[in-house]
Structure 1
Amino acid sequence: MNRPASLTALFLAFSRLALQGFGGVLAVAQRELVERLGWMTREEFVETLAIAQVLPGPNVVNLSMMVGDRFFGTRGAMAALAGMLAAPAVIVLCLAAAYGQLHAHPVAANALRGMGAVASGLVLATGFKLLPALNKSPLGKPAAFGLALAALVLIGVLRWPLIGVLALVGGAGMALAWWRMK
């Protein structure tokens, strides 16, 4: 089995991986890490991915840090993480700068409005798909719907900042779930 020659090679491999996919690069990660680079066997990839899926955060980010740690310890984890995030962050910053120049143009404004509607629809669709999971949640459906309604009112009607809503509603949800689990 091969291994990355250096931290730079690790960084570049994960940068290339991050730039090959948008919204889901796990298939690309398997092809790169197992087939092209030979840094992992298929079995090792599946085992590492299984652990990455259990950890909080995006699976491929967790996977990158675990692969980096495997070869170079903490420095490798940070190099792989930087590789996964640096190029996408630069792209997002460039898009934000372009938006700063184009936000007043009617076509750009309408396109962004449309993207906002699509994003809202995707979030709602995901929420509907996850509704059956509430049957097993210690929070329960009535409390979950109440917290969702509170978030909707605080953000949509009262225009509270997101961080405040997350702190209040998220904190209340965690406290209620913890209390019910006792």
Structure 2
Amino acid sequence: MSTELASQRPTSLADLYISFTLLALQGFGGVLAVVQRELVEKKRWMTMEEFVEDWAVAQILPGPNVVNLSLMIGHRHFGFAGAMAALAGMLSVPLLIVVLLAVVYAQFSQYPQVVGALRGMSAVTAGLIIATALKLVPALKNNPVGRLTALIFSALCFAGIALLRLPLAYVLFTLGTITCTLVYRRLK
């Protein structure tokens, strides 16, 4: 699947809005796994390689990664209007839900069951992120630095941020500069 071309595209601004609203609602709080499955496997709006490349760009831009990705996809297909439709889809209904959840949480935050449920949800989210990362590894075979080098840099990033507790900006700037230099040299 990773090498085949994306054969479909959003049919309208309403399709973009509805699709991104459903994406935001499916993966409320952590949508990477859902977005990859929906956009690449189900809707086929992009290939796995396009997803990995666009996701990498979305991660370095300021703001939420999935919102950045939705803006890029919307703009790619319908220009500024598409970007705004995708953005509205990602934010409108989830915003209402967050406001409602905040009101409910304020009423029930002192109960141990609520605290336990939130801890359990964070473990599930971590598992989804790891599973999605493993699912995206095959797309690295076409990466200019190669799969092994990309995995080494991923491990270094994890070690720097999670184990050594280095600031994210320093780790990304350092490893990103080295990786960009490697890619530039290999593509030259």
TM-score (norm 2): 0.56
Change in Cα spacing, 1:132 to 1:36, as seen in structure 2 (3 Å) is same
2:151 aligned partner: none
Q: Distance in 1 between matches of 2:53 and 2:77?
A: 16
Q: Distance in 1 between matches of 2:105 and 2:47?
A: 43
**How many angstroms does 1:22 deviate by?**
2.7
Equivalent residue runs for 1:16-31 within 5 Å:
16-31=22-37
- Structure 2 residue corresponding to 1:80, chosen from 82, 86, 90: 86
**How many angstroms does 1:8 deviate by?**
0.3
- Structure 1 residue corresponding to 2:55, chosen from 41, 49, 52: 49
Q: Distance in 1 between matches of 2:25 and 2:91?
A: 10
**How many angstroms does 1:61 deviate by?**
0.9
2:110 aligned partner: 110
**How many angstroms does 1:114 deviate by?**
4.2
Equivalent residue runs for 1:52-131 within 5 Å:
52-98=58-104, 103=107, 108-111=108-111, 114=115, 129=162, 131=164
Structural RMSD (CA)? 3.2
**How many angstroms does 1:95 deviate by?**
2.7
Specify which structure has the bigger relative contact order, considering alpha-carbon pairs within 8 angstroms and separated by 6 or more residues: 2
Highest CA radius of gyration, 1 or 2? 1
**How many angstroms does 1:79 deviate by?**
0.7
Say how many residue pairs are matched.
Answer: 124
Could you give the per-residue CA deviations for residues 96-145 of structure 1, whole angstroms, max 9, x where no partner exists?
45467xx3xxxx25139948x96xxxxxxxxx8375425x95xxxxxxxx
Change in Cα spacing, 1:99 to 1:132, as seen in structure 2 (3 Å) is closer
- Structure 1 residue corresponding to 2:8, chosen from 2, 9, 12: 2
Structure 1 unaligned residues grouped into runs of 5+? 119-127, 138-182
Change in Cα spacing, 1:130 to 1:85, as seen in structure 2 (3 Å) is farther
TM-score (norm 1): 0.58
Change in Cα spacing, 1:96 to 1:133, as seen in structure 2 (3 Å) is closer
**How many angstroms does 1:89 deviate by?**
0.8
- Structure 1 residue corresponding to 2:21, chosen from 15, 22, 26: 15
**How many angstroms does 1:48 deviate by?**
0.7
- Match of 1:39, SS state, is coil
Change in Cα spacing, 1:132 to 1:44, as seen in structure 2 (3 Å) is same
Q: Distance in 2 between matches of 1:130 and 1:62?
A: 28
Structure 2 unaligned residues grouped into runs of 5+? 1-6, 120-160, 171-188
Could you give the per-residue CA deviations for residues 69-113 of structure 1, whole angstroms, max 9, x where no partner exists?
10011111111111111111111222345467xx3xxxx251399
